[in-house]
């Protein structure tokens, strides 16, 4: 990470792993709906394991379908984020923020990602780590305009104990 990289939203003791660093070890883990292990993860599972790896005990609620639906009131990702992180923040993105996303304009928000640093020629660039079902694995890439337009909520790490 260069000196111009954005600051983290999570102050950690020296030597402790940051959430984005913990999440990077899951890149290329296969996608599995409702997955909660290194053998397969979905977007919630990725954040659950990342939280565990940095010493947090997040609230889990694996009661959700593959596609968001107004009829599926058992699990709402915005409510899930509030339960674990508090209310959404209204500021520029920071490393370790959790993103609530709407991947298809006609759908309800149905996806979570973690903000990470992104090394490139643009010192303000940020990346994201997330489990992407269409690719079939956990991926890390730059947050481009398409992804920015899909963000509907930003939540500050840490997940509450």
Query: Is residue 97 in a domain?
Result: yes
Query: Is residue 11 in a domain?
Result: no
Query: Is residue 5 in a domain?
Result: no
Helix (H, G, I), strand (E, B) or coil at 95: strand
Query: Is residue 61 in a domain?
Result: yes
Q: Which residues contact 79 (CB under 8 A, 6 or more apart)?
A: none
Nearest to 140 by CA among 50, 9, 67: 50
pLDDT at 71: 61
- Based on the structure, what is the number of domains in the chain? 1
Nearest to 132 by CA among 31, 22, 23: 31
CA 119 to chain centroid: 19
Yes or no: say if 114 and 23 are a contact pair by the CB < 8 Å rule: yes
Query: Is residue 1 in a domain?
Result: no
Yes or no: say if 51 and 22 are a contact pair by the CB < 8 Å rule: no
Tens of each residue's pLDDT in the chain, 161 residues: 333 333 444 444 445 789 999 999 999 999 999 999 999 999 999 999 999 999 888 888 767 777 666 665 546 888 889 989 999 999 999 999 999 999 988 888 889 999 999 999 999 999 999 998 889 999 999 999 999 999 999 999 965 44
Nearest to 110 by CA among 88, 87, 146, 78: 78
Measured CA to CA, the distance from residue 62 to residue 80 in angstroms comes to: 11
The CATH number linked to 67 is 3.90.1720.10
Query: Is residue 146 in a domain?
Result: yes
Other Cβ atoms within 10 Å of 100 Cβ, number: 23
CA 89 to chain centroid: 14
pLDDT at 113: 98
Measured CA to CA, the distance from residue 62 to residue 34 in angstroms comes to: 6
pLDDT at 67: 67
Query: Is residue 3 in a domain?
Result: no
Q: What is the pTM of this model?
A: 0.85
Residue 57's domain spans which residues?
A: 19-155
Other Cβ atoms within 10 Å of 114 Cβ, number: 24
């Amino acid at each position: 990470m260069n000196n111009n990289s954005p600051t983290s939203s999570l102050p950690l003791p020296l030597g402790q792993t940051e959430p984005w660093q913990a999440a990077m070890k899951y890149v290329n883990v296969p996608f599995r709906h409702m997955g909660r292990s290194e053998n397969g993860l979905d977007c919630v599972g990725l954040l659950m394991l990342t939280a565990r790896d940095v010493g947090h005990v997040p609230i889990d609620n694996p009661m959700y379908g593959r596609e968001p639906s107004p009829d599926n009131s058992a699990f709402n990702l915005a409510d899930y984020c509030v339960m674990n992180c508090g209310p959404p923040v209204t500021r520029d993105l920071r490393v370790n923020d959790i993103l609530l996303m709407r991947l298809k304009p006609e759908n309800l928000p149905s996806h979570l990602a973690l903000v990470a640093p992104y090394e490139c020629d643009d010192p303000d660039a940020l990346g994201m780590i997330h489990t992407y079902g269409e690719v079939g694995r956990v991926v890390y890439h730059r947050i481009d305009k398409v992804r920015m337009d899909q963000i509907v909520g930003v939540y500050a790490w840490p997940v509450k104990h």
